[in-house]
Amino acid sequence: MPNIKLLQPATLDEAVALLAAESDGAKIIAGGTALVIMLRNRLIAPATLISLGRLQELRAIRHEPGTGLRIGALASVREAEMSPVIREKNPVLAQAFGKVGNIRVRNAATVGGNLSEADYASDPPCVLVALRARVKASSVRGEREIPVTQLFKGFYETALAPDEILTELIVPDPASGSRSSYLKYISRSSEDRPCVGMAVVVENEPDGSCKDLRLVAGAVSEIPQEIESAEAMARGKHLTDSLIEEIAGAYAGGIEPLADLRGSSWYRKQIIRVMARRAIQQAMASN
């Protein structure tokens, strides 16, 4: 690798100032699990790396009543997986973080890095879309919030501006009585990225009918996929096995999946239908 200047700011203010000042297309490095591979494969060649490693202020994981979970971008994926407060308030999220790669990757990879990388074959993004989470981004121009539904723009592309740092993930508390699940289908080694990831959140009315269904597939397209017409089939109805089957069929029918080494488009479509059905059934069976 060519000589790269490494800057290690100690505060967020310093980090955003450095990012704004570096006119040579400096890159941020957090855990480095994705970035170092990109460097080694010569996909990127920044003259400067700005490490977030010293920003202790971005490491906290806490719960704020009325707001929900607040997860610092520098928290590792493993810390998020094991966090007692995430496990208590939003178990499906802890489970999704626990499905990322292997334990060595999860120890180094950060929550913010996973979202900023925007690799289509990732686990947390579709779950965060289903949970209607949002992220905070900071730059010298100030701070803003971006709903995760609007964060991913394409392959490795997010709504973050080049001078913005993703600082925090905010996950609202699930509505009372809501149920959720995340299923990961892997077609190669057990530690691989998903061939299909399927996240479900079901909110029920007191009479047991469905108030809202959010069904979001990951790894099947450039960005997480939600099919509004399939979700609408659930509203106001009791989710019987036959209705769930119909919804899963309509959902798979609405997606034109991509093809890659993990599966062809045709294969993914079959898997999407099965995973959608199983994920809804699993959510309905959970507390």
Ligand X SMILES: Cc1cc2nc3c(=O)[nH]c(=O)nc-3n(C[C@H](O)[C@H](O)[C@H](O)COP(=O)(O)OP(=O)(O)OC[C@H]3O[C@@H](n4cnc5c(N)ncnc54)[C@H](O)[C@@H]3O)c2cc1C
Footprint on this chain of ligand X (rule: CB under 6 A)? 27-35, 52, 73, 77, 100-101, 105, 108-110, 112-114, 116-117, 122-124, 160, 165-166, 193
Q: Exposed/middle/buried for 215, CB within 10 Å: 0-12, 13-18, 19+?
A: buried
In the complex, the smallest distance separating the C-beta of residue 217 from ligand X, rounded to whole angstroms, is 14
Measured from the CB atom, the residue of 26 and 202 that comes closer to ligand X is 26
Distance of CA 266 to the CA centre of its chain: 25
In the complex, the smallest distance separating the C-beta of residue 240 from ligand X, rounded to whole angstroms, is 33
Q: Please give the Cα distance from 257 to 68 (Å, whole number).
A: 33
In the complex, the smallest distance separating the C-beta of residue 51 from ligand X, rounded to whole angstroms, is 9
Q: Please give the Cα distance from 89 to 84 (Å, whole number).
A: 9
Q: What is the 3-state secondary structure (H, E, C) of 147-164?
A: EHHHCEEECCEECCCCCC
Measured from the CB atom, the residue of 83 and 110 that comes closer to ligand X is 110
Measured from the CB atom, the residue of 113 and 263 that comes closer to ligand X is 113
Neighbouring-strand partners of residue 139:
142
Question: For ligand X, which residue has the nearest CB?
Answer: 113
Residue 286 has φ and ψ, to the nearest 5°, of: -90, 170
In the complex, the smallest distance separating the C-beta of residue 212 from ligand X, rounded to whole angstroms, is 26
Measured from the CB atom, the residue of 96 and 244 that comes closer to ligand X is 96
